[in-house]
Amino acid sequence: MTNDQADPSDARKPTSASAEGHRGPAPSDGPTGPSFVARWDLDKTYLRTDFDTLRDLLRTAVERPDQKRTVPGAAALLRELGRAGVETHILSGSPDQLRSRIEQKLRLDGVRWATLTLKPNLQNILRLRFRALRGQLGYKLPALLRGRCELVAQRDTSGALVHEVLLGDDAEADAFVYSLYADVSAGAVSPEELTAIMRLGHAYEDTILDALRYASYVEKGPVVERILIHLDRQSSPSDFRVFGSRVVPFYNYLQAALVLHEAGRLSPQAVLRVAQDLVVAHNFDGAALARSYLDLSRRGHVSGQGIPAIVTAYEELMQRRIGGASDLRAMVAELQRMALELRPPVSRPSERVDYQALAALHNPRVRRKRR
């Protein structure tokens, strides 16, 4: 294990079963994986973390768990995923020294998770691996691939490959790393190409070898359904078109819930609970939340097919008194109105991502020179 990849406290060596590669469906009496997996980043995806200056870093390090701020709606969505039986794995660039505080914060928010992997920055410093402090590719990609290997099984009870959704943000290189992970898992990136990409991304050689080894254990297939990118820095959604329609930039967590609902991964009741959390706990406007659905529709990420189920769930919910009822009513009324005007999303042919060109751009040294 190398010092700029996953923390060993959350990792097991890939089992012999996971090393079989292109095997058939798992036998019915053997171990089966979870029905669905969600992989989350923490900073700026779940936690409202500022680390642009040394003062920000110091403040983050000394904050009590109850002082850490959650991105509006993120905890609600994580709880709903847990309620739906989704297995959540958290992979963050936060230093491992914050583990206890982060775990306490997650417990305060009522969140359940399977693994929490943090960056061993102290070990990187002691070994003079300073590139690893800021680099994401050499840390996150091997950790993601290793996490895939370490599922109880890579196939579910039906014998199908376990599918995943990945959540990150626009502050670092999440869309790039997640997309590369998805294509490596699908078998669309050769070992030679992966080596070249990681070298261009300035990853250390031992982390490249780790990524290649874990990739060889992954059962290949289109396992990543969606990559949801929180626009913390208000980046333009068009910035992410290069990654294809699998990547969905979103402004608020109701949008993330709506995408997962139309994919059949969240119930309409769960969508309403996320909306209620945004309205009651974070003062979002119901009609404005409905318009965020229109934004997703215009970008081709939702089709309107989930609106009738949300309306039905709302009518059932209104049989009792709940907080934020007026805003939920406004949201549902606006959804019903716009459902009549929505057009089917335009299908665009997917193009192969030029990871080698993007790797150079995501290299921290290159980014500094371009500023």
At residue 18, does pLDDT exceed 70?
A: no
pLDDT tens figures, 211-231: 999 999 999 999 999 999 999
Encoded amino acid at 2, one letter: T
pTM: 0.87
In the prediction, which pLDDT does 122 show? 63
The answer to whether 280 and 232 are in contact (CB under 8 A) is: no
Average pLDDT over residues 323-340: 95
Q: Which tokens in the block code for residue 345?
A: 């999303």
- The Cα-based distances of 100 to 64, 306, 361 in angstroms read 10, 39, 34
Helices first, then strands: H and E counts in the chain: 16, 6
Give the residue from 95, 99, 171, 98 showing the smallest Cα distance to 133. 95
pLDDT in tens, 32-79: 789 999 999 999 999 987 655 545 555 555 677 677 889 999 999 999
Report the distance separating Cα 239 and Cα 100, nearest Å: 36
The CA–CA distances, whole Å, from 356 to 193, 201, 274, 339 equal 8, 8, 38, 41
Per-residue confidence band for 95, with pLDDT thresholds at 50, 70 and 90: confident
Using pLDDT thresholds of 50, 70 and 90, give the confidence band for residue 17: very low
**58-60-61-62 Cα dihedral, nearest 10 degrees:** 90
pLDDT for the residue numbered 361? 78
> Which structure tokens are listed for 278?
């945004």
Give CA–CA dist 135/144, Å, rounded. Answer: 15
* Residues 247, 59 contacting (CB under 8 angstroms): no
Q: For the chain, how are helix, strand and coil distributed in percent, rounded to 5? A: 50, 10, 40
The phi and psi torsions of 263 (rounded to 5 degrees) equal -85, 0
pLDDT of residue 96: 84
Tokens standing for residue 346: 């335009």
- Confidence grade of residue 133 (pLDDT, cut at 50, 70, 90): low
The model's confidence at residue 3, banded by pLDDT at 50, 70 and 90, is very low
Q: Rounded distance, CA 180 to CA 216, Å?
A: 15
Tell whether the model's pLDDT for residue 129 goes beyond 60.
Answer: yes
Enter the tokens of residue 66: 């109850």
Cα–Cα distance, 268 to 306 (Å, whole number): 8
- Name the residue ranges covered by the structural domains of the chain: 35-250, 254-339
> Does 79 or 364 have the greater pLDDT score?
79
Confidence of residue 186 (pLDDT cuts 50, 70, 90): very high
CB 183 within 8 A of CB 354: no
Q: The domain 35-250: what is its CATH number?
A: 3.40.50.1000
Per mean pLDDT, which range of 130-144, 165-179, 180-194, 306-320 is the poorest?
A: 130-144
Q: Is the pLDDT of residue 171 over 60?
A: yes
Running DSSP on this structure, what letter comes out for residue 66? G
| pLDDT exceeds 50 at position 16 | no
Instruction: Write out the H or E segment, with its range, that includes residue 163.
Output: strand 163-169
Helix orientation angle between 286-298 and 253-262, rounded to the nearest 10 degrees? 60
Letter for the amino acid at 79?
Answer: R
The closest alpha carbon to 173, from 371, 368, 365, 361, belongs to 361
Q: Is residue 223 a contact partner of residue 163, using CB atoms and an 8 Å limit? A: yes
